[in-house]
Structure 1
């Protein structure tokens, strides 16, 4: 429901398009007139009361398409809760000169931590071992031997902030690092590969840390997945769109690759039901940045960008 404007209230009006923690809503309410688009049942009708909205708060998953942007004639800024901005229509924002911000850096460490955790979990069969103990089966038999992570060849697909942080963590395990990046990264102490497929053919584990969007859609295609081979693993902490998901499921079903640790999926949260039938996967519901410390920092950075905009100061983390 739209918060009604009091007579004489000059606070800027903002639209919240994505669910946010209560701890972020409270300070926003003290500074702005809030329109909770994320809670509206009849969204087209709701937008009729948003003609004075000057800022939108969204996320990479929720996004901001051209129709929503067009429905907000006074819109001045879009700020994203998260690093992903692949759901934002940049043609629409550029046409109106609307800046977009996100929350990089503050979530880099958590996502990199989870990438390593997923690799360890799937290679060491940690969920299976946990279930084995909980079911009282410890004395009834032993589990199959797992694969070790330390000393592995780790291929990083996307050497941005999160890719670099993941590589640093993997080096601590004595791993050899290779990478593929769409643009040159001179000076890195790691081997660069020309294609995702050649990276996968070299690696024991490919960890995807790319940004989402049209430019990376299915960049980990069927050929690259198959190049991992029957002893190779795939970890994805980026976006589900970066992987040919049908090819991945088929490879996991038939043993073309050994396993996968996945935090992201196509069509999440309504993911392909075949994932639940696979026994060589560790699946998480997109929790890469989901620690209390990081989510607090993300909310603060989002609010700081809004404050800078309305104070006429430079934005802290503009995407463009």
Structure 2
């Protein structure tokens, strides 16, 4: 007798190849339209599912997990971050949590470099001028930006993505500096010719560009707060392709408006889609709609990791990308 298929609920539309493979392997309930599930829909979905496949737009907190049926045994997150999931409560309930690390590394690092270039070379201002039809021709002093070669890049969070950013930045001739919970092995550090700063304050005060590449945890919330942002040089820029909560967005907005910071490139925001309207008005800011991981290749690879995690679990083994509270 064949084994009964796992009941899997997917909360958002995923690329077609991923949905097709999920349908081949599991008793899967797919999303009809590309909108987030409501709280009520999520609550209903986990009552009789074996596996939930949420995304960053789904808040799977203690209250929601408490409504799960006895069958729910795996939350296979479609995304590298798990700050949308109460991992500790899930573990207490005997529910495993997995994620998709590494799938987005290169895509996010590419976007980080794109933002660094866009801000320092004032690309949005040039684009706006062209779209308005205001360009009167080349001029020696028009839209003068800055060269990134030789500039000091301070990477906050030297994990997979931080290191991928460092590799790219070195190719552009930037000097690599970093702050991390743990110092890299000497050999890895030498491969980037990187300078480690135990004190984040000291690093921030000396950098030309700050790149946020750390996850959002209780210890990184507002890590770049008003006091620390004030340490930045007036001609420095900051980019964030990680999590919006790491930067105090209101403080950043005030400093950008006052000219205390040269510019910013943001792909993520502290309050999701509720972005400070004063931030939108600034010419020295590049704002993107959380598209750092938006490549077809990356999104399919994420789906493949989700499938491997579910299949491994279904075969009675530990999912290769299991997340436990001690990792956070």
Aligned partner of 1:154 in structure 2 is: 153
User: 2:273 matched to which residue of 1?
Assistant: 269
The question of whether the paired residues in 1 share the 8 Å contact of 2:46 and 2:72 is answered with no
Match 2:256 to one of 252, 256, 262? 252
Aligned equivalent of 1:290 = 294
C-alpha distance 45-290 of structure 1, shift in aligned 2 (>3 A): closer
Q: TM-score, normalised by structure 1?
A: 0.90
1:24 equivalent to 2:18? Answer yes
Q: Quick check: 1:35–1:50 contact (8 Å CA) kept in 2?
A: no
Specify which structure has the bigger relative contact order, considering alpha-carbon pairs within 8 angstroms and separated by 6 or more residues.
2
Residues 5, 27 of structure 2: 8 Å contact kept: yes
Q: Which moved more, 1:13-22 or 1:310-319?
A: 13-22
Q: Distance in 2 between matches of 1:204 and 1:14?
A: 47
Stretches of structure 2 lacking an aligned partner (at least 5 in a row): none
Matches within 5 A, 1:129-144: 129-139=126-136, 142=139, 143-144=142-143
- Note the C-alpha offset of 1:74: 1.7
What is the aligned partner in structure 2 of residue 4 from structure 1? none
Cα distance, 1:269 vs structure 2:
1.6
- Per the alignment, residue 228 of structure 2 pairs with 224
> Matched residue of 2:100: which SS?
coil
Alignment CA distance shift 1:76-1:136 (3 Å): same
2:312 aligns with: 308
RMSD: 2.3
Distance 1:151 1:45, change over 3 A: closer
Match of 2:208 among 171, 179, 204: 204
Q: Given the two structures, how large is their TM-score scaled by the length of structure 2?
A: 0.88
SS at match of 1:211: coil
Cα deviation for residue 40 of structure 1 reads 8.6
Q: Deviations over 1:102-155 (max 9, x none)?
A: 111121011011101100001001121123234333325742311111111000
Q: CA deviation at 1:42?
A: 6.7
Q: Call closer, same or farther: CA 1:42–1:97 in 2, change over 3 Å.
A: closer
After superposition, give the CA deviation of every residue in 1:41-94 in whole Å (9 maximum; x if it has no partner).
Answer: 775377457433111101234241112222222211111111111111022112
* Alignment partner of 1:97 is 2:91: no
Counterpart of 1:82 in structure 2 is 79
Query: For this pair of structures, how many residues does the alignment match?
Result: 313
Measure, in 1, the Cα distance between the counterparts of 2:27 and 2:318.
Answer: 23
Structure 1 gap segments, 5+ residues each: 1-7
Q: Counterpart in 2 of 1:65?
A: 61
Distance (Å, rounded) in 2 between the aligned partners of 1:82 and 1:46: 17
Aligned-partner SS, 1:122: helix
